[in-house]
Amino acid sequence: MHALPTPLANEIFSNLFHSHSLYCCELDKNTRVINMWGDNTFYDFDKWSLGQDLSKVDFLLGMVFDEPWVMRDVQVAKDNHADIYFSPNVVGKRYLAFISTQYTIERRRENQLRGNHLTLLHERNKKLIFQLEESKNTLITNNAGLTNFIASMSHEFRTPLTSITGYAQLIGDQAGLPNETIKHLSYIESASQHLLSLVENVLDQAQLDTENFQLQRSNVSIAELVTEVTAVVASLASAKALAFSAVMSENCVQFAMLDSLRVRQILINLLGNAIKFTEDGEVKLLIDSSDTEIIITVSDTGPGIDPSMHQSIFDAYQRSNMQSSKPGVGLGLNITKRLVDKMEGTISLLSSKGNGSQFTIRLPFIEADDDFVEEQTQPIPILKSTKAKYVYSLLLVEDNTDISNLLKIFLTRAGYKVDIAENGQVGLDKTRIHSYDAVISDLQMPILGGRELVQLLRKDGFTKPIFALTASEKKSEQEKMLGEGFTTILTKPIQMQELLSKLASALHSEV
């Protein structure tokens, strides 16, 4: 390798010298200045003098002057930075050289700032993601707590609702009541039903929010399902003098595996809304199917929904202007949409202001089991009671005297002989003395609860029907209770007709 030609080296050195403000000192063995070259004013070195000990200068303090070193970007004066080179043995002499970095330092500072901001951003993103994860976990935990809270609140609501609706019904059954009283009773009933539907909606909403919400599919007769729903909503339509029709297409599938409870809920939500908001005209339900889907259409001649609301109408607590004048909190359609989503179906709306509304739901279905279809198509034998005059004896185990008195009145009127026990232990004692045809028991009671009672009764060899009265709608919980020995589960608030019908059915099958 050859050295650069001397003129070129001189030219480069000269340029560097001018543009980078080179400065150099020769030091003796005691780091004192022997010689100086360059513009010392550029570095504010003008106070430096021959014989000065540079090891005492602030920015050279602590440096060792017996081996070569480089210090980068040292702030050597107020506005000047330089790289400092120390060479202890250049042709036997010691040199300290300064090369200004002032021309590049701002650019490098900007780059470093950008780099630092990027690093901070990255750190903050990581922190944010961590916080989001934590928040998500907290929400999941809180959500579970909230769901339990709502479930227990729901329980607390249902029990008094049984009393309110039941006693209102009892009063209403009396002959010769003044019209004013009948009107007031209808207000009580309507308010109770509204409160009950609110409780149910809020509970459903909470259940849908939990990750463990699961559909309970079973074999269902579509016609039976539609008949049940029609029975509920027809009276509502009739009360408003609206025409109501429910049509099942001839080609519609007859049986399918569906979550009947949830499909029923969807139908009642849509039909209930249609009846609530329609003042004149009619409400129609049409059930049809394709090879893979059940198609439900609910249409009405109500006020219609502005297209701008078609998306938001399915959001929770969203209500259109028309809806805000009616009772409700705006959960029904949201729950409907979420249930349809859970069933992997679709819901669509065709409506405009003043032209009524049409909701169409398409629900994928699985074919019903062959055994079920066969069983459903068999003619139903007509049951005849051989003990028409026999008076069934019931034991009612309930700690809430409002409820036990109410049920006793209804059951006595229906022709049953009713004995009451205020808790499970009293109930157990009574069954050991008297003979009952059935036991109806609450679950949560002092001393001995309903679930403990049923186990002890079955252990005692009691084989008659045992009914549970529960405020819990959890299907899994109800199935567990059936496994524990209960014959039938009745959910509060108790519908008296339902109780009587299930009681009759259970006692007949005992015959």
Partner 1 sequence: MEIESRKVCMVGDFGVGKTSSVERFVSNVFSDKYLTTIGVKVDTKVIKSEKSEIKLVIWDIAGRNRFGNIEFTYLRGSASYLLVVDGTRKSTLTTALELRDSIEDRYGQIPYVMLINKADLQDEWEITEEEIAGLRAKNIKVFVTSAKSGDNIEQAFIELSQSLIEKKV
The residue among 125 and 238 lying less far from partner 1, judged by its C-beta, is 125
Binding piece for partner 1, criterion CB under 8 A, among 70-78, 207-215, 266-274, 452-460? 70-78
Q: Applying CB under 8 A, which of residues 26, 73, 402, 422 lies at the interface with partner 1? A: 73
DSSP strand E in 2-79: where? 23-27, 33-38, 69-77
Q: Looking at 290-331, which runs of residues are DSSP E strands?
A: 293-300
Contact call for residues 190 and 262 (beta carbons, < 8 A): no
Q: Which residue of 22, 27, 81, 454 would you call a contact of partner 1, by CB under 8 A?
A: 81
Q: Binding of partner 1 at residue 131 (CB under 8 A)?
A: no
Q: How far is CA 168 from CA 173, 184, 195, in A?
A: 9, 10, 15
What are residue 52's phi and psi, to 5 degrees? -75, 140
Q: In angstroms, rounded to a whole number, what is the distance separating the alpha carbons of residues 486 and 480?
A: 9
Pairing of β 93-100 and β 80-90: antiparallel
Q: Does the protein bind partner 1 through residue 58 (CB under 8 A)?
A: yes
Q: Which is nearer to partner 1, 116 or 312 (CB)?
A: 116
Is residue 129 a contact point for partner 1 (CB under 8 A)?
Answer: no
Residues 77 and 37: their CA atoms lie apart, in Å, by: 18
Q: Note whether 67 binds partner 1 by CB under 8 A.
A: no
Residues found in the chain: 511
* Residue 340 one-letter amino acid: V
Least Å from the CB of residue 102 to partner 1? 11
Name the residue type at position 233. V
Q: Is the dihedral of CA 286, 290, 294, 298 positive or negative?
A: negative
Q: Applying CB under 8 A, does 447 fall inside the site for partner 1? A: no
- Is position 105 an interface residue for partner 1 (rule: CB under 8 A)? yes
Peptide bond into 381 cis (omega under 30): no
71 binds partner 1 (CB under 8 A): yes
Amino acid at 502: K
Q: Residue 286: exposed, middle, or buried by beta-carbon count in 10 A (0-12, 13-18, 19+)?
A: middle
Rule CB under 8 A: say whether 69 interacts with partner 1. Answer: yes
Residues 6+ apart with CB under 8 A from 510: 437, 464, 465
Q: Residue 132 CB, nearest distance to partner 1 (Å)?
A: 16
Q: Which amino acid is at 415?
A: G
Provide the strand spans (E) within 390-437.
393-397, 417-421
Question: Among 37, 59, 149, 390, which residue interacts with partner 1 (rule: CB under 8 A)?
Answer: 59
Residue selected from 2, 3, 7, 62 as contacting partner 1 according to rule CB under 8 A:
62
Least distance (Å) between residue 297 CB and partner 1: 55
Q: Which is nearer to partner 1, 116 or 501 (CB)?
A: 116
- Told to check if 379 binds partner 1 by CB under 8 A, we report no
Cis omega (within 30 of 0) for bond into 68: no
Could you say whether residue 88 binds partner 1 (CB under 8 A)? Answer: no
* Site for partner 1 contains 130 (CB under 8 A): no
The CA distance from 117 to 417, in Å, is 83
Q: Does 75 sit near partner 1 (CB under 8 A)? A: yes
Can you tell me the distance from the alpha carbon of 450 to that of 427, in angstroms, rounded to the nearest whole number? Answer: 10
413 binds partner 1 (CB under 8 A): no
Q: Which is nearer to partner 1, 75 or 181 (CB)?
A: 75
Looking at the Cβ atoms of 72 and 384, the one nearer to partner 1 is 72
Binding region for partner 1 (CB under 8 A) out of 114-122, 224-232, 396-404, 480-488: 114-122
Q: Which C-beta is closer to partner 1: that of 108 or that of 434? A: 108
> Which one among 74, 170, 185, 506 touches partner 1, defined by CB under 8 A?
74
Report, in Å, the least distance between residue 194 CB and partner 1.
45
The answer to whether 112 contacts partner 1 (rule: CB under 8 A) is yes
Q: Does 149 bind partner 1 (CB under 8 A)?
A: no
Q: Does 118 bind partner 1 (CB under 8 A)?
A: yes
Smallest separation, CB 112 to partner 1 (Å): 5
| Residue 253: CB atoms within 10 Å | 19
CB of 123 to partner 1, least distance (A): 6
User: Closest CB to partner 1 among 118 and 231?
Assistant: 118
Structure tokens at 191: 């308010």
CB of 129 to partner 1, least distance (A): 15
Contacts of 433 (CB under 8 A, 6+ apart): none
Q: Is 123 in the site for partner 1 (CB under 8 A)?
A: yes
**Residue 108 contacts partner 1 per CB under 8 A:** yes
Cα dihedral 442→445→450→456 (10° resolution): -150
Task: Tell me, rounded to whole angstroms, the distance of Cα 262 from its chain centroid.
Answer: 17
Residue 135 binds partner 1, judged by CB under 8 A = no
Amino acid at 113: L
Pattern 3-42, binding to partner 1, x per CB under 8 A?
----------------------------------------
- Contact between 77 and partner 1 by CB under 8 A: the answer reads no
Q: Would you say 108 and 81 are in contact if contact means Cβ atoms under 8 Å apart?
A: no
Summarize as ranges the residues that interact with partner 1 (CB under 8 A).
56, 58-59, 61-64, 69-75, 81, 101, 105, 108-109, 111-113, 115-116, 118-120, 123
